[in-house]
Amino acid sequence: MYDVIIVGGGPTGSYAACKLAQLHHKVLVLERKRRIGESVCCTGIISQECVTAFGIDDKFILRQANSARLLSPSGNELRLWRKNPQASILDRAAFDMAMAARAQSAGADYVLNSPVKDIAIEKDGVNIQASCQGKGINFKGRVIILACGFGTTLCERLGMGRPGDFTIGAQTEIEAAGVEETEVYLGNVAPGFFAWLVPTRPPIARVGLMTRKDPDVYLRKWLAHLAARGKIASADAEISYAGIPLKPLPRTCGERVVVIGEAAGQIKPTSGGGIYYGLLCADIAAKILHQALEDDDLSAKRLTRYEREWRKKLGQELKTGYRARKLFERLSDKQIDRIFEIIKTNRLDEALLRAEDLSFDWHSKSILRLMGYQMISRALSVIKLPFRIG
């Protein structure tokens, strides 16, 4: 019997596997894909805070960024710049493989090409039915961690509920010679959300967007527009898609089960980024589970400590970010342009960038500070909101 079985071999699952294996627990990771890092639909942008906190090696970083251009529907531009690098763009496949290799070096077992079919929580452990290379096989563990990404039915079947809201991300990699900094486009190019053009290793860039419906239609239209402007070499590209939760699960733990990362909805609602938050929560989960395993108490009551700790760290960020997300979705192109004009005319972007306490990862301060400006509040006051801004 394994002490811990982790479903999902992405960064959060592998990080938890590594931490628990280093603490001398017997760990198994079940991954449905044939290879770690296969077909990842992720822009891979993380902060320098994340790089430092989790010791991410430079060899997995394609590019560092200290600036970005935000463009309104009419082409009005805000350029955000700081002297020091604010973000790094990962080689996601290499990063995922390295995280798995680190966990394996610590003693964790990996079984690939093994989608989980069913999970039974029993009195003395967890029984998992998987399809291993086309054949049914059972695995037994004391506790299970679900780190299997968004869209799994396993969480709901185990009583965790489902995310209250989600969107869809679509992305491709394509040749874009001459693009030197990240570009973010707002407005009807991606209704309610945004599109991005992120240079990685010259001349390659990641081009994508988020939208609630028809991601293929919007992205192909966007690619054609970029190609016509000469921003990218061709509009012909293979596109990857992924669901992105905008709200966390109602519950992220239960009897002998813990949910982390994207599966738990631990994602920034403003940007859709989830690597850093997922790793933070995986770290919390590993610490809580280590002590629970040592005490042989894997009850729902005991594991609730994980729920309390991660929500204490991230809960307010997620709530504020989601409210800002819903507000932004109600803005028309004209209103977005108006807000850009207000920010530029009053140099609010410069004021925000001078504030040292504002962070790439922790958006609530930026959101609340921006809404605190009287000009912005007045511009937003005409929008009918399902909540109070103040």
Q: Region 41-54: what's the mean pLDDT?
A: 92
Percent of the chain with pLDDT over 70: 94
Q: How far apart are CA 93 and CA 206, in angstroms?
A: 14
User: Among 35-49, 127-141, 281-295, 356-370, which is the least confidently predicted range?
Assistant: 356-370
Strands 135-146 and 125-132: antiparallel
Strand ranges for the chain from DSSP E: 2-7, 27-30, 45-47, 61-65, 67-71, 77-81, 87-90, 109-111, 116-122, 125-132, 135-146, 166-175, 182-186, 194-199, 204-211, 240-245, 253-254, 257-259
Question: Own/partner pairs for 187-193, CB < 8 Å, 24+ apart?
Answer: 187/72, 187/73, 187/333, 187/336, 188/73, 188/333, 189/73, 189/218, 189/222, 189/225, 190/218, 190/222, 191/218, 192/328, 192/329, 193/167, 193/328, 193/329
Residue 390 has pLDDT above 90, yes or no: no
Rounded Cα–Cα distance for residues 22 and 11 (Å): 16
Q: pLDDT per residue over 95-123, tens digit each?
A: 999 999 999 999 999 999 999 999 999 99
Of residues 249 and 84, the one with the higher pLDDT is 249
Examine the pLDDT at 125 and tell me if it is beyond 50: yes
Q: Report the amino acid identity of residue 296.
A: D
What phi-psi label fits residue 55: left (phi over 0), alpha (psi between -120 and 50 degrees) or beta?
left
The CATH class for the domain spanning 167-244 reads: alpha beta
CATH of domain 2-45+91-164+245-314: 3.50.50.60
Q: Could you tell me if residue 236 is left (phi over 0), alpha (psi between -120 and 50 degrees) or otherwise beta?
A: beta
**Location of each CATH 3.30.9.10 domain in the chain:** 167-244
SS (H, E, C) 286-352: HHHHHHHHHHCCCCHHHHHHHHHHHHHHHHHHHHHHHHHHHHHHCCCHHHHHHHHHHHHHCCHHHHH
Region 81-86: what's the mean pLDDT? 87
For residue 320, pLDDT beyond 60: yes
Q: How far is CA 258 from CA 32, 148, 226, in A?
A: 19, 12, 43
Which range of 26-40, 194-208, 330-344, 358-372 scores highest in mean pLDDT? It is 194-208
Quote the CA–CA distance of 303 and 288 in Å, as a whole number: 7
pLDDT at 288 exceeding the cut of 90? yes
Average pLDDT over residues 326-348: 90
Cα(248)–Cα(258) distance, integer angstroms: 13
| Residue range 152-166: mean pLDDT, rounded | 93
Model confidence band, residue 387 (pLDDT cutoffs 50, 70, 90): very low
What is the average per-residue pLDDT within 76-82? 90
Cβ(27)–Cβ(88) below 8 Å: no
pTM (2 decimals)?
Answer: 0.93
Both structure tokens of 255: 């009897």
- Does residue 356 have a pLDDT over 60? yes
CB–CB of 163/153 below 8 Å?
Answer: no
Provide the pLDDT for residue 321. Answer: 92
Residues of the chain with CATH 3.50.50.60: 2-45+91-164+245-314
> Which of 21, 15, 12 shows the shortest CA–CA distance to 4?
21
State the distance between the two ends of the chain, measured CA to CA, in whole angstroms: 52
- Whether the upstream peptide bond of residue 202 has omega within 30° of 0, thus cis, is no
The fraction of the chain above a pLDDT of 90, given in percent, is 80
At residue 386 the predicted structure's pLDDT band, cuts being 50, 70 and 90, is very low
pLDDT of residue 366: 76
Q: What is the mean pLDDT of the chain?
A: 92
Cβ neighbours of 87 (radius 10 Å): 25
